[in-house]
Amino acid sequence: MTWHGSAYIALMLLLVLGAAIPLGAYMARLFQGRITALQSVEHGIYRVCGIDPLREMGWQAYAIALLLLSVIHFLLLYAILRLQFYLPFNPQATVGMPPMLAFNTAASFTTNTNWQAYTPESQISNGAQMLGLAVHMFISAAAGIAAAAAVMRAFTAGNLKTLGNFYVDLTRITLYLLLPVTLVATVALLVSGVPMTFAPYASAHTLAGDSQTIARGPVAFMEAIKEFGTNGGGFFNANAAHPFENPTIFTNLLENWLDLVIGFSLPIALGHMIGRKREGVALYAVMAIILGFGIFGAYAAEASGNPLFTHAGVVAHSGNFVGKEVRFGIAASASYNVSATGTSTGAVDSFTDSYMPLGGAVPMFLMQLGEVSPGGVGSGLYTIVIFALLAVFIAGLMVGRTPEYLGKKVQAKEIKLAMLAFLILTVSILGGAGMSLLTKSGLGSLANAGPHGLSEMLYGWTSATENNGSAMAGLSANTTLLDYGLGTAMLLGRFAFMIPALAIASSLAAKQKLPPSSGTFPTDGPLFIGLLVGVIIILGGLQFMPADMLGPLAEHFVLVAGKTY
């Protein structure tokens, strides 16, 4: 580790955490309907779409509206991908995707996962990228933030019967948050050298006399929303390691900032909405602690280099540079990749498959914790709120008090729904990875044997279920088993957790809001922050420890012993 590497990470975190405070205050006003600068445009959208902005929705209506929109857009994206050969903006005459790959990709972008089992340069047209994928990057991000806003409203008062209007939330989040920042970030990326064009791929003649095709397209706009909406799907197969997506250390820092800032802003918004800012800061602190330890842990693992070199008598002072871009270095690469798995982004500027075992274990473990550091846009907030409910429930059991959180009593119904949501994800990850490793098709998808092969498969199912989208490059995912299996896992990971979260919010909203008393366990101080970090690590991570012991941790001990596999 170097001082300038640590300084880069500190600067990135400072920029993110500093910006999250005013952005969180702005988002609270947005969710409360107090931002009206584009009111005429907003109401024009309502008239065209037949939306009654005054109609409030209970949690069932809110969830049905969200699911219905997702189903419609899943089908539309599937059709675009299958029929892209006949659609406009296809100068390369790219043919339609086969059914299993189109299903996987449609599920991926509908759920904010952006898992890519295809090669973008050769298997998807510019038109499908913009009209299909980019549109879903906005919709899936806005839907996640809307669900978080609905959960926040449950704590604002007592005896509530509604959680807002999904269509109004979706419109306002897109219009006042996602679109403006994306446009500004697009210009910044354009100025920095990221292309934005609908022209055909360029042809060049090399010095060796050969011809070369250079892929290009509407990259800058997609790159901006890819990061800001924690989507992660790259225009190029190399994702943010490609110089057309991420040409300089400045763009790397900008994209890392875009990736994290909404996730850290949402707990601040929660504190403003309930009128208890310290409560939001406590959740914000938990997110920051977990992410900070993750980034510096991965950086330390990569900076220490490969133990096999030490056993061979080779000194590599620069650390493990395999799979990393020289223009970024180890610190910027580690912070980018860990940030992308602490959120649901999944974008990478270096290749996790080439990381040291412990360096690669950090991104996977952050996903297995439920992605709460700070998590996907929206999903990170309602996931950490559910962890907070479990934390106060456990604290209540230890001291014999009725658990409360933000003035709402936490009872059996909320805990049962919370555990149902978490267990569904666990079964999907461990069951899916185990099933795949028992099949010939699953084993055939692995590029490596031994513990690293287990890590590749476990990482893939973790990434899909947690709606992350990153992968270890050694996993060949475009097979019938993994296209349909991982596609189903993405849908479960998104909706089998989001729907119970909305049900929990409705149950809490209907309860009386209690003022703090001398018997209330404080949830805005260091004690609660420490308890919540412990609950997240134990409940979120311990269930995966046996599998992790056989995967990345076993890899580490093999390498330390100077062995190969």
Answer yes or no: pTM beyond 0.85.
yes
- pLDDT, residue 474, reads 82
Q: How far apart are CA 542 and CA 8, in angstroms?
A: 31
Task: Residue 331: name the closest of 297, 371, 280, 360 by CA.
Answer: 297
Element (H or E) spanning 526, and its range? helix 526-535
How many CB atoms sit inside 10 A of residue 349's CB? 26
Pick from 311-315, 350-354, 452-456, 513-517: least confident:
311-315
Block residue for tokens 């149902």: 420
> Bridge-partner residues for 57, per DSSP?
164
Rg (CA), the chain: 23
- pLDDT, residue 159, reads 93
Secondary structure of residue 315 in the 3-state scheme: coil
Q: What is the DSSP letter of 299?
A: H
pLDDT category at 467 given cuts 50, 70, 90 is: very high
Percentage, residues of the chain above pLDDT 90 = 80
- pLDDT, residue 305, reads 82
Inter-residue contact 379 to 425 (CB < 8 Å):
no
Structure tokens given for 146? 């809307």
- pLDDT, residue 381, reads 96
Q: Please compute the mean of the pLDDT values over residues 313-337 and round it to a whole number.
A: 87
pLDDT category at 243 given cuts 50, 70, 90 is: very high
Q: How far apart are CA 169 and CA 53, in angstroms?
A: 9
* Tens digits of residue pLDDT in 200-215: 899 898 888 888 889 9
- For residue 135, report the phi and psi dihedrals to the nearest 5 degrees: -60, -45
The residues near 114 (Cβ < 8 Å, ≥ 6 apart) are: 108, 137, 226, 231, 232, 233, 345, 346, 469
pLDDT category at 335 given cuts 50, 70, 90 is: very high
> Bridge-partner residues for 475, per DSSP?
446
pLDDT above 90 (res 140): yes
* Tens digits of residue pLDDT in 470-498: 998 888 889 999 999 999 999 999 999 99
Structure tokens given for 307? 């133990």
Q: How far apart are CA 433 and CA 369, in angstroms?
A: 17
* Tens digits of residue pLDDT in 374-428: 999 999 999 999 999 999 999 988 887 889 999 999 999 999 999 999 999 999 9
- pLDDT, residue 398, reads 86
pLDDT above 70 (res 26): yes
- pLDDT, residue 317, reads 65
pLDDT category at 107 given cuts 50, 70, 90 is: very high
Inter-residue contact 111 to 140 (CB < 8 Å):
yes
